[in-house]
Structure 1
Amino acid sequence: MVSTNEVESAYQVAKERYAELGVDTDAAMAALKKIKLSVHCWQGDDIHGFLNPDQELTGGIGVSGNYPGVARTPDELTGDLHEALSLIPGKHKVQLHTIYAVTDKKKDLDEVGPEDFSYWVDWAKQEGVGLDMNPTFFSHPMVKNNFTLASPEKAVRDYWIEVGKKSREISNYFGEELGQQSVNNFWVPDGYKDNPIDKLSPRLRLMNSLDEIMKQKYDEKNTIEAVEGKLFGTGIESFTVGSHLFYNNYAITRNKLWTIDAGHWHPTEDVSDKFSAFLPFGRGLMLHVSRPVRWDSDHVVIMDDALMRITRSLVRDHELDRTNVGLDFFDATINRVAAWVIGARATQKAFLQAMLAPIDQLKQEENTYDFTTRLAVTEELKSYPFGAVWDEFCLQNNVPVGTDWLNNIHQYEKDVQFKRED
């Protein structure tokens, strides 16, 4: 166990070091505490959901591994989320999908409404968290040849339009009940495996379907929509209807949020560079923090260079107020609760390190062409004792410091998760 005295002693040294650069570590921790991560529920159950948990995953989605202790029921999943949230500093949100409805009778996706999420709202109130929403456009027989909202079949489009409309009702319900704006994120898997003849018609159909879904007006203090593009996916290697440019334009022309998933881009692209190119024109961002390996593989987030570029861009350009930060990964090769904690804490660490910099001073030197100082200071900052500030942040938020949180996970495995295999 890390002692409180050791943490506070190290923090005082770090505080003085950063103060020499004009950086207020207390102010940085206060700013970090305001960032609410949207933690994705589907890491806990391998995206099975509760409506039809035996349905095969489709839409280019797959989960690897069979680590023991997967959540199988609403109570198991919320129990796991509670354990994870108790090890992540601050108060956050939880993302849901339509398939996580809790109902006592058989319902199809287009029949699921707010009444089927009262379980989650009651839990969120008890936990003190907000809820975000994602309509489920995958793993269903009505996904016809990799098409939903852009399908050439009107009956298919109509079915998924209703799913989208219901999700907006649910998201509005979350906002009304919890007093926090609920972001409703739209991602669809539509596309072709081989080269299409007609690229325009599917995009027109997708645009019209989304417009139909968005017709009903809701108070944006309760809910707001975000649209998420993709580079490609399994089964749609040659043509993705909902490409990044398509949704960039849709978000700007419809005054919606644009969702940037860090795993949905070509590996050589710098995702963080998209923020400053979009935000002068767009409403705001929904960010899905993920970690691709070669392509969209949704590995557990770590504090790597890509994540650091993302957080630095948002902090340095003062765009956090216009950005919703969510997590999106799924890994069943390790403890699923630990995956949440590792990814969330890595994201928070990256934000903190980005905040622990004399940003205004560096901008001034940049504007006066003093690139020498800019490079020298940013390089020296890499070895500054930000870890001591992170430990203090954990201590102040009553969560374990360092790797002490792993003791909680091992005990939770023994007492709860491993017993599910009996």
Structure 2
Amino acid sequence: MKNSYNAAREVFAGWGVDTEAAISALATIPISMHCWQGDDVVGFEKKSGTSGGGIQATGNHPGRARNPDELRADLEFAYSKIPGKHRLNLHAFYLDTDERPDRDAIEYRHYAPWVDWAKEQGLGLDFNPTFFAHAKADDNLTLSHPDAGIRAFWIEHGQRTREIAARIGEALGSPAVNNIWVPDGYKDNPVDRMAARRRLEASLDTMLAEKHDKAHMLDAVESKLFGIGVEACTVGSHEFYMGYAIKRKTLLCLDMGHFHPTENIADKLSSVALSVDELLLHVSRPMRWDSDHVILQDDSILQMAQELVFGGLLARTHIGLDFFDATISRTAAWVIGTRNMQKALLRALLLPQEKLKRVEENLDWTSRLLLTEEARDLPFAAVWEEFCARNGVPTGLGLIADLDTYQASVAGRI
């Protein structure tokens, strides 16, 4: 393997690329892995409502985590197969407590076991309010609901998640991104979109009124195109949240599944980065709109990673994952998806960036096309294997064997 890497290093050097610099840069990029892949977005509270907002995991593959301990065990295994140090994205309904507080009564202590575990594992934590799977969300309206009492319930929930996220960030010494997504919308054509959006804006303003130290917590807002049951209108559209993020100085979350399938998220990054200080990415693969498949090294991921690297956006972008597939091993899904995100970033870091930018600036489209296509044949895999070896994680057949063995050990869960 070392001989393969040394040969690859010489090839890249001929293109003006330093593989050691690329490996070092990749080691500094944390990926926030999402807890909800491990249990099919079920959570650990007694359900009193439907999922809503188009959220649905299909399949019933053996091995779903049924409690926090099983979920943490699965996560530990997954992280052990992923090179580098990363984060966990935790939804509010994954509390770990014998109590059964409603969403407007959750407190930091209900998540303290997650913080203790994250400290032990050397992980950062991010957080999300859970505005779905609750009786008060069954109308697919929460912060924009016409009923002031329902709005107040969800505002309180959001305020508490911000407080919890700030406590988490302080405890771990790393700011927790608290991402706000609501399922609000209408199945059929509404007659007063403005009223709903004014209610959503006012609710968000109230929810975000208290200031928290950005060293501990960062607010993000996330849009959606539409979902099951809200096909005619999503109150929190991309335009709504882009304007809100600019006005209120929050992070803007771009979820790859929350746009039309022909839209290119990579193209949006440089546009919104001119107006928003920091970005949050939710990376998934929308095969048929928001279907949230495990990400591949396809063009959409490779282009997005290249835009982050070439646009100098890595320091301003928080990368999180958001897919949930219950037709395959859940731990394998985490490992495959996270490693593919890293592979895409590594490929971007290994491209002859300055050379490509120079020929484009000189309007030399022929050289740009030639360089881009010939670069596809560079020995990226050898550099990836070296990166994994330095981090003590397997590749190829060794990885496959480890994933199969672990899946067999959890297949008996019912």
TM-score between the two structures when normalised by the length of structure 1: 0.96
- The answer to which of 364-373 and 233-242 deviates more is 364-373
- Cross-structure match for 1:184: 178
- Cross-structure match for 1:263: 257
Q: In 1, are the aligned partners of 2:258 and 2:289 still within 8 Å (CA)?
A: yes
Q: Which runs of 5+ in 1 are unaligned?
A: 1-6
The answer to whether the aligner puts 1:335 opposite 2:335 as a matched pair is no
Deviations 1:153-180 (A, max 9, x none): 1001000000100110111011110001
Distance in 2 (alpha carbons) for counterparts of 1:309 and 1:289: 12
Residue 313 of structure 2 is aligned with which of 283, 308, 319? 319
- Cross-structure match for 2:412: 419
Deviation at 1:54, TM superposition (A): 7.9
Deviation at 1:55, TM superposition (A): 5.5
Q: 1:105 to 1:412 in 2, by over 3 A?
A: same
Q: 1:412 to 1:54 in 2, by over 3 A?
A: farther
Question: Cα RMSD (Å) of the superposition?
Answer: 1.1
Distance in 2 (alpha carbons) for counterparts of 1:13 and 1:144: 59
Residue 224 of structure 1 is aligned with which of 198, 208, 218? 218
Question: Would you say how many aligned residue pairs link Structure 1 and Structure 2?
Answer: 414
- Cross-structure match for 1:4: none
Q: In 2, are the aligned partners of 1:365 and 1:373 still within 8 Å (CA)?
A: yes
Deviations 1:313-371 (A, max 9, x none): 11111100000000000001000000000100111001101111111122122112222
Deviation at 1:57, TM superposition (A): 2.4
3-state secondary structure, aligned to 1:286:
strand
- Cross-structure match for 2:280: 286
Distance in 2 (alpha carbons) for counterparts of 1:56 and 1:63: 13
Residue 170 of structure 1 is aligned with which of 156, 164, 172? 164
The answer to whether the aligner puts 1:200 opposite 2:194 as a matched pair is yes
The answer to whether the aligner puts 1:123 opposite 2:117 as a matched pair is yes
The answer to whether the aligner puts 1:390 opposite 2:384 as a matched pair is yes
Q: 1:17 to 1:164 in 2, by over 3 A?
A: same
Query: Superposition pairs for residues 2-401 of structure 1, below 5 Å?
Result: 7-52=1-46, 56-401=50-395
Deviations 1:7-27 (A, max 9, x none): 211111111111001000010
Deviations 1:201-242 (A, max 9, x none): 101100010000111111000000100000100011010000
Distance in 1 (alpha carbons) for counterparts of 2:130 and 2:62: 26
- The answer to which of 367-376 and 322-331 deviates more is 367-376
Distance in 2 (alpha carbons) for counterparts of 1:142 and 1:77: 27
Distance in 2 (alpha carbons) for counterparts of 1:338 and 1:389: 22
Distance in 1 (alpha carbons) for counterparts of 2:323 and 2:10: 37
Deviations 1:237-282 (A, max 9, x none): 0100000010000001000100000011101111111111111111
Q: In 2, are the aligned partners of 1:48 and 1:55 still within 8 Å (CA)?
A: no
Q: In 1, are the aligned partners of 2:47 and 2:133 still within 8 Å (CA)?
A: no
Q: In 1, are the aligned partners of 2:182 and 2:236 still within 8 Å (CA)?
A: yes
Deviations 1:97-141 (A, max 9, x none): 110011121211111111111010000001100000000000100
The sequence identity of aligned pairs, in percent, is: 50
Deviation at 1:144, TM superposition (A): 4.4
Distance in 1 (alpha carbons) for counterparts of 2:33 and 2:47: 21
Q: In 1, are the aligned partners of 2:5 and 2:382 still within 8 Å (CA)?
A: yes
Deviation at 1:404, TM superposition (A): 1.6
Q: Which runs of 5+ in 2 are unaligned?
A: none
Q: In 2, are the aligned partners of 1:144 and 1:151 still within 8 Å (CA)?
A: no
Q: 1:54 to 1:299 in 2, by over 3 A?
A: farther
Q: Which amino acid aligns with 1:257?
A: L
Q: In 2, are the aligned partners of 1:231 and 1:243 still within 8 Å (CA)?
A: yes
Distance in 1 (alpha carbons) for counterparts of 2:115 and 2:356: 44
Distance in 1 (alpha carbons) for counterparts of 2:238 and 2:259: 9
Distance in 2 (alpha carbons) for counterparts of 1:258 and 1:281: 10
Q: In 1, are the aligned partners of 2:331 and 2:407 still within 8 Å (CA)?
A: no
Deviation at 1:190, TM superposition (A): 0.3
Q: Which amino acid aligns with 1:300?
A: V
- The answer to which of 335-344 and 370-379 deviates more is 370-379
Q: In 1, are the aligned partners of 2:49 and 2:137 still within 8 Å (CA)?
A: no
Deviation at 1:53, TM superposition (A): 5.4
Deviation at 1:52, TM superposition (A): 1.7
